[in-house]
Amino acid sequence: MYQDPNIQASAELVAAARAHNITLDPPRMTAEEKEQLLRTYHPDYREDQFELLQVGPNKGEKVPKELAALLQGRSRIDPDKLDLDEPAYDVDVLVIGGGGAGTSAAIEAHQAGANVMVVTKLRMGDANTMMAEGGIQAADKPNDSPAQHYLDAYGGGHFAAQKDLLAKLVTEAPEAIRWLSDLGVEFDKAPDGTMITTHGGGTSRKRMHAAKDYSGAEIMRTLRDEALNRQIPVVDFTAAIELILDDQGRCAGAVLMNMETRELKIARAKTVILATGGAGRLHYQGFPTSNHYGATADGLVLGYRAGAKLLYPDTLQYHPTGAAFPAQIFGALVTEKVRSVGAMLINAKGEAFMNPLETRDVSAASIIRECSDRGNGVKTPAGWAVWLDTPMIELKHGAGTIEKRIPAMMRMFGKYGIDIRKEPILIYPTLHYQNGGLKISVDGQTGVENLFVAGEAVGGIHGRNRLMGNSLLDIIVFGRSAGQHAAAKAQSVTVGKLTLSHVARFHQALEEAGVDTGKISPKLLPTYNSLGKDF
């Protein structure tokens, strides 16, 4: 029972229409309808929210304003005043970031015999991986194939994915599932061992593997446990605040900052893997976010300053179903799996206004249209919303399905007195994923030699929109691959003299271009304290 009478009245319309709505299969939009919808309503098309970069490898290209301010911000250090000659750490492979990609990379580098170390600005496992709920794709059923997976992802990403990366993603997907399974990840299976798989938005085959709706958490805690069993050194609460190059321009370490004491230390490495994740906590265009506290695009800033190029930094993913009510969970992720298992999107009048399994960008734009021009949104304290009709799930699949398949969602809303088995929930798009990032070749290396990237900090694997379940997949496939390649490359590297001259040059370029954003970067943490003071 919703206390707000307008919300409750609309919820009752939804309940009254449920028996009818459940029989519907709303048609999918045509390619032309989708394109028109995206152009008109998707936040990526709001030109005034973007800015052209004036310095660096992507000069002249557009990025979100908030990102431009950080990419063209000033370093946290004075590059001329730091002594690089006596590094506190000296390793083969330095992994920056302790999420799913970084941890996978560390495990594989360790497996290859490299001396590998992980630095992470919070705790190991504090990452968007931990918060991924719905699942991981792999074409491992008889009616499916890596080619079918490629077609779904390529089309869903608007025919813009870097083809060799996408081919690697889909080809190595089944092996990624087996690797995780062998580590002890508990995938949902039928009694005979068959994987229980569902659709995600934009999939043409049911290839979403899950561990209830804790898929990412289950993967992350298992990877973390494995890294700890291998006794891989993890330096936590320590951020990389600048990459270090050597006198031949190759990446050769990082400047590290203790997040609590602010002490600086130098790490020298033969190869470096950036696995710093996404950018949701930059709150592009004022959107709430489903992202982890540390998602502030640090890796993009570090890589960009060191000379690595970005690909598609202007495309963001707004997850169609962020929690819109109550305020305490505003912006939190309501997993796409809720739709995979049968809930439909319903407007304030109780109408099923779209097919619930369109791709994320199309779904988000459609919800924004419903809440704006069409005037069919539900007014909430924070803005507008539409319904996700969760009680449909148990009407379709029987009582107990919600607790069994989406227990985290039941718990999240239950804490605020909403029983999703009996009442529909209010949702609105939330900033979810950075489609773009640093450009890599198929071995995971950027244009800066010995600088590898994996995970959400990479751009191009998914093109301009990512399908559900392809991010958990990419952190495993490209995380492992980066670890293997960085370890192999490290064997032949002799590090030259360490330098931060690239940072000094970047500062000089900013001055020459007359750019002063007033920001220092990387940002490291969002600013939520009431004093408004940046970290």
Footprint on residues 115-174 left by another protein (CB under 8 A): 122-123, 125-126, 130-131, 138-143, 145-148, 150-152, 154-155, 159, 163-164, 167, 170-171, 174
**Binding test (CB under 8 A) with another protein, winner from 6, 40, 328, 441:** 328
Task: Count residues near another protein (CB under 8 A).
Answer: 88
**For residue 519, with 0-12 CB atoms within 10 Å meaning exposed, 13-18 middle and 19 or more buried, which class applies?**
middle
Residue 28-67 contact track with another protein, rule CB under 8 A, x = bound: x-xx------------------------------------
The torsion region of residue 460 among left (phi > 0), alpha (psi -120 to 50) and beta comes to left
Q: Is 106 in the site for another protein (CB under 8 A)?
A: no
- Which residue lies nearer to another protein by CB, 288 or 350? 288
Q: How far is the CB of 445 from another protein (least distance, A)?
A: 21
Q: How far apart are CA 55 and CA 320, in angstroms?
A: 34
Residue 190-229 contact track with another protein, rule CB under 8 A, x = bound: xxxxxx---x----xxx-----x-x-xxx--xx--xx-xx
Residues 491 to 530 in contact with another protein, rule: CB under 8 A: 525, 527-530
Active-site position among 158, 224, 319, 432 = 319
Sequence-distant (6+) residues with CB within 8 A of 14 are: 346, 350, 387, 389, 424
Residues 252 to 271 in contact with another protein, rule: CB under 8 A: 259-260
Q: How far is the CB of 418 from another protein (least distance, A)?
A: 13
Distances (CA, A) of 465 to 221, 300, 316, 526: 27, 18, 8, 25
Q: How far apart are CA 396 and CA 205, in angstroms?
A: 20
Q: How far is the CB of 44 from another protein (least distance, A)?
A: 20
Among the listed ranges 270-278, 297-305, 328-336, 392-400, the one in contact with another protein (CB under 8 A) is: 328-336
- Which residue lies nearer to another protein by CB, 164 or 247? 164
User: What residue has token string 């890599």?
Assistant: 440
Helix (DSSP H) and strand (DSSP E) numbers for the chain: 17, 20
- Is the CB of residue 443 less than 8 Å from the CB of residue 135? no
Where is 353: in which H helix or E strand? none
How many CB atoms neighbour CB 397 within 10 A? 14
Q: Is 185 in the site for another protein (CB under 8 A)?
A: yes
Active-site position among 110, 224, 339, 360 = 339
Q: Which two tokens stand for residue 72?
A: 């063209």
Q: How far apart are CA 285 and CA 12, in angstroms?
A: 33
Alpha helices in 347-390 (DSSP H): 360-371
Q: Is 461 in the site for another protein (CB under 8 A)?
A: no
Q: How far is the CB of 204 from another protein (least distance, A)?
A: 5
Answer yes or no: 339 catalytic: yes
**Binding test (CB under 8 A) with another protein, winner from 18, 110, 292, 489:** 292
The SS3 of residue 119 is: strand
Residues 3 to 32 in contact with another protein, rule: CB under 8 A: 28, 30-31
- Which residue lies nearer to another protein by CB, 113 or 184? 184
- Is the CB of residue 2 less than 8 Å from the CB of residue 423? yes
Residues 348 to 377 in contact with another protein, rule: CB under 8 A: none
CA angle, 503 then 506 then 507, to 5°: 90
Q: How far is the CB of 94 from another protein (least distance, A)?
A: 22
Residues 398 to 417 in contact with another protein, rule: CB under 8 A: 407-408, 411-412, 415
Answer yes or no: 20 catalytic: no
- Which residue lies nearer to another protein by CB, 63 or 153? 153
Distances (CA, A) of 315 to 84, 116, 155, 414, 436: 37, 33, 15, 34, 6
- Which residue lies nearer to another protein by CB, 61 or 175? 175
- Which residue lies nearer to another protein by CB, 375 or 400? 400
In 3D, which of 476, 484, 460, 458 has the Cα closest to residue 173?
476
- Which residue lies nearer to another protein by CB, 89 or 237? 237
Q: How far is the CB of 164 from another protein (least distance, A)?
A: 8
- Is the CB of residue 94 less than 8 Å from the CB of residue 267? yes
Q: How far apart are CA 442 and CA 167, in angstroms?
A: 10
Q: How far is the CB of 493 from another protein (least distance, A)?
A: 30
Q: Is 290 in the site for another protein (CB under 8 A)?
A: yes
The SS3 of residue 269 is: strand
Q: How far is the CB of 207 from another protein (least distance, A)?
A: 9
How many CB atoms neighbour CB 66 within 10 A? 20
- Which residue lies nearer to another protein by CB, 51 or 152? 152
Q: How far is the CB of 187 from another protein (least distance, A)?
A: 7
Catalytic residues: 319, 339
